[in-house]
Chain A
């Protein structure tokens, strides 16, 4: 018979506890306590109209009833809005791709001198901080309502996104290849053509295709401030309480995005 009890009864019996992400028990419990405190505090300070919120559920049900069945009768408007969104997304992706190349190259610390690098990075950060709806409003103020403001907004968003990815990709390139091409006496443009471009191209294209899909999604939102696309149709329908038309538009948007994602994944798989 094994004297099992004697080992575990000892005061210095071996202990084991599972490893946790945050080892320090004070930190761990402190964090949980902090979270609870935060929850209570934020809910208390937020100006939430709790009675209205309680009304929310029956209102939601009511809304859903008003939304069903979706009204596709104004399908020509729907088609026109969808088409406009697609066009905005395509144009913005194309120009975004082109503009992202110089910006991305300038944002790569292993290619350009430091001041250029810093300036490019600052520009990228600045253009990414503000939500595209804010950018859209500014473009609307300058260029007026309509898809032009929307395309420009999306171009800014696409350029900053793609160039950031491109810059990071270039910086992650194995330095030996750059060294070798430089050692042959090549100029900077030749370095780009013969080393940076072939190595960076697949990822650049993949990111751009992804951005095309993302632009499709974002084109819905800029419409809310009047920058064109199907978002504008949606905002109008909401303001007129045409909820059944709203549902139709929402369903269209979801299918559009779905198709777009499918297409984008297919193309990116082909590129591999």
Chain B
């Protein structure tokens, strides 16, 4: 369970990126965070695993006060949070398998890391994940030889290799084309639900956010202006978050909108698609 209270971040330049943000994530749901650029979405996500140091507030992961941890304990806690990035952030010159195994770095010692001698169960898990995301056979391919969608699938797998208690996802589809974006979101949401892992997902695409989220949090100017189930995001809500706009085309209406099951290896599983009924 993730409990955030009174989280604030003020940069040395005086910009207040986050103002007194509070919310709780309890169930294994997919929570998307939406909001205009500069609303503080990225800052929020990065404060949770302290890639950015917040100015004040508390963040509790189960019983652990994240902001009070020293470096060693922080590392241990970071293992429990899998992060997925907008720019994939794979180590380009390493192979897919090594990128996957890097998710286990928090669990192995120095010499094993150097010799690349990870525990067998990790390697088995890695192969299983590769197959699940449709990248069987890619284990020895260098990361920089992959397409954007493929890289993000590796990124998702890397985060899941940590067997995390929480997924932190920063704009996973911002650099992808519309079709690949939907594929990635589908995989992400399916896997999160399969493993019962709550996920915090930053998105700038409202339509995509609504299609795949269980719960939506809207940020504006560093403050939460909406927090509720995805089907309660109306045009009014969007106006409050983003401003005046013709929202009728963005809000997902289900007529004519059916999520077809994906072709390929992610077949065989039911796509859990939230269709918001108007």
B102 touches A198 (CB 8 A): no
B145 within 8 Å of A (CB atoms): no
Known A-B contacts A185-B75, A190-B110; A177 and B51 likewise in contact (beta carbons under 8 Å): no
Task: List A contacts of B103 (CB < 8 A).
Answer: 184
Q: How far is the CA of A221 from the CA of B125 in the complex (A)?
A: 59
A193 within 8 Å of B (CB atoms): yes
A185 touches B106 (CB 8 A): yes
The residue from B79, B114, B158 contacting A185, defined by CB atoms under 8 A apart = B79
A181 touches B85 (CB 8 A): no
A53 within 8 Å of B (CB atoms): no
Minimum CB distance partner of A202 in chain B:
B93
Known A-B contacts A179-B51, A184-B78; A193 and B113 likewise in contact (beta carbons under 8 Å): yes
The residue from B85, B94, B155 contacting A198, defined by CB atoms under 8 A apart = B94
The A-B contact count (CB < 8 A) is 79
Q: How far is the CA of A193 from the CA of B77 in the complex (A)?
A: 21
Task: List B contacts of A179 (CB < 8 A).
Answer: 51, 85, 89
Task: List B contacts of A193 (CB < 8 A).
Answer: 110, 113-114
B253 within 8 Å of A (CB atoms): no
Among B77, B87, B89, B104: residue with most chain A CB under 10 A: B89
B75-100 residues at the A interface, CB under 8 angstroms: 75-79, 81-83, 85, 87-94, 98
A185 touches B90 (CB 8 A): no
B51 touches A183 (CB 8 A): yes
Hey, what's the 0/1 contact readout for B22-43 against A, CB within 8 Å counting as 1?
Answer: 0000000000000000000000
A169-217 residues at the B interface, CB under 8 angstroms: 174, 176-177, 179-187, 189-190, 193-195, 198-199, 201-202
The residue from B88, B90, B98, B106 contacting A184, defined by CB atoms under 8 A apart = B106
Task: Provide a sorted-by-A list of 25 A–B residue pairs whose CB atoms are within 8 angstroms.
Answer: A174-B87, A177-B92, A179-B51, A179-B85, A179-B89, A180-B90, A181-B91, A183-B51, A183-B78, A183-B168, A184-B103, A184-B104, A184-B106, A185-B75, A185-B77, A185-B106, A185-B162, A187-B105, A189-B110, A190-B113, A194-B102, A194-B113, A198-B91, A198-B93, A202-B93
Besides A183-B51, A184-B83, A184-B102, 18 new A-B residue pairs in contact (Cβ under 8 A), listed by A number: A176-B87, A177-B90, A179-B85, A180-B85, A180-B155, A181-B102, A184-B78, A185-B75, A185-B77, A185-B162, A186-B102, A187-B110, A193-B110, A193-B113, A194-B94, A194-B102, A194-B105, A202-B93
